[in-house]
Amino acid sequence: MYGIDDILRAIIADLHIVAAITAAFYLLALVCAVREVMNSRTSQGSIAWILALALLPFPTTLLYLVIGWKAFDDYATDRIRNGRAARPLRAKDLALIDRETSQKWPVQVKVSEVPFLNGNDVELLVDGRATFDSIFEGIAKAKEYLLVQFYIVRDDRLGQELAERLIERANAGVKVYLLYDDIGSTGMPKRYRAELRKAGIKVAGFNQRHKFLRVYGPTRINYRNHRKIVVVDGEHAWVGGHNVGVEYLGENLRFGRWRDTHVRVSGPAALGCALLFREDWEWATGETLPSTPPDTVATPGDQSVLVMGSGPADKLEECAIAFTDIIGRARERLWIVSPYFVPDTDIRTALFAAKLRGVDVRVMLPNEPDHKTVWLASIAHADAMIEHGVSVYRYQDGFLHQKVVLMDDQIATVGSVNFDNRSFAINFEITLWFADGKTVADVEAMLVEDFRLCRQVDMAEVKGRSLPMRFLTQAARLLSPLL
């Protein structure tokens, strides 16, 4: 039998094979370089890719296919077919548009392609127990359908409880759909999915129709669906930062308390969440879910909500545009809470400008890491914030994972978006925007308590970092476009 050494010697001995392989990589590198020029968003990133492709075609070409080649025209086509552009018309027919608020926040409305909708009841859910108690209570009341989507679904105690509750509803005749991200849920065993499917539940990975290591077209391993959405009968929806795993209940000894925020919305906004799920489901499975709008929509409250879906299928980096707008409009305060803080140049510039206008700009971050590289990069970016007068706080009472923004007394957001390039440009995300006084006040009260449990980072701490630590943080910062 021939061993690997024999095969390698045979290949090297035949220079024609070596030349053919080398030429193939250079040809592929040329294709990638041309595509990068034609689809460039930043000159710095494109120049870096082109130089790497020219000087080191292997393995840069393989990396580019995984990380750099973005192709979601098929997702955009599915979105058009699902009628996202018709959503405002549908809402108008149902007389649910909050025109005054929509006119006040035109950037967010145009980015989302939907207006603010009136008639919602909103409840902030602080930490995992409150979140999953509320979600499970809602699941138990489902009568027609359940749409469940998480980035991470673990086969642990919480994951099993979710499965049991979904199976119970499926046995009661409710149509149940579960969508998970293939990268986030890599540890999900086939047995878990098989149990759900046996009960009649439809289960899909986001990339199951778009394989990572296929021989044609780009891979999509770098593009994840980071949304967390649960919708019950199109009447109630849950959105926020929690995934399905016992650590989100604070039961992981490494992290202790897991500080996170979800939100329940009951009313017209739930339909917006359902439509986002429908787009993701069709792209993942090729199956079109029923989308006939109801004749009437319950309006259990008086709060206005905008549902914003964002992702790499957007023509522009619309998530970044929406957040840059509110940073620029801030006049009194801008409080940002995120576990990962890796802003791009535009966001950094907007934050610095807000501080120079006299805005109370605060950034709340975790004190301890869960992902070391992102944490190191976050330190470098946070230190730059402090040097420009922005206040940075480190949360002390466990691990901070919530994604919340509060601007003046005007608007607040809760969703899945982290303040980093991955959330703004690479991942599929969801953000709920609230412009009513009650929800904004509730978010303020929640964050005031969170800041009480933080320590503020000062210049002495920044200047006191050791040389190796400064080197590591700056080195990690170089990876910011990928984090």
Residues carrying an active site annotation: 226, 228, 233, 401, 403, 408
Q: Which residues of 420-454 are buried (b: 16+ CB within 10 A; e: fewer)?
A: bbbbbbbbbbbbbbbbbeebbebbeebbeebbeeb
Please, which residues have CB within 8 angstroms of residue 481's CB and are 6 or more apart in sequence? 42, 45, 344, 421
For 372, the token pair is 């070391």
Are 121 and 152 in contact by the 8 Å Cβ rule? The answer is: no
Q: How far apart are the first and last CA of the chain?
A: 45
CA distance 307 to 483: 25
DSSP codes of every residue in 312-325: TTSSS-HHHHHHHH
CA distances for 302 relative to 101, 103, 218, 306, 436, angstroms: 13, 18, 46, 13, 9
Amino acid at 38: M
Query: Tokens 């970044």 belong to which residue?
Result: 320
Cα 455 to chain centroid distance, Å, stands at 27
Phi/psi of residue 299, nearest 5 degrees: -125, 80
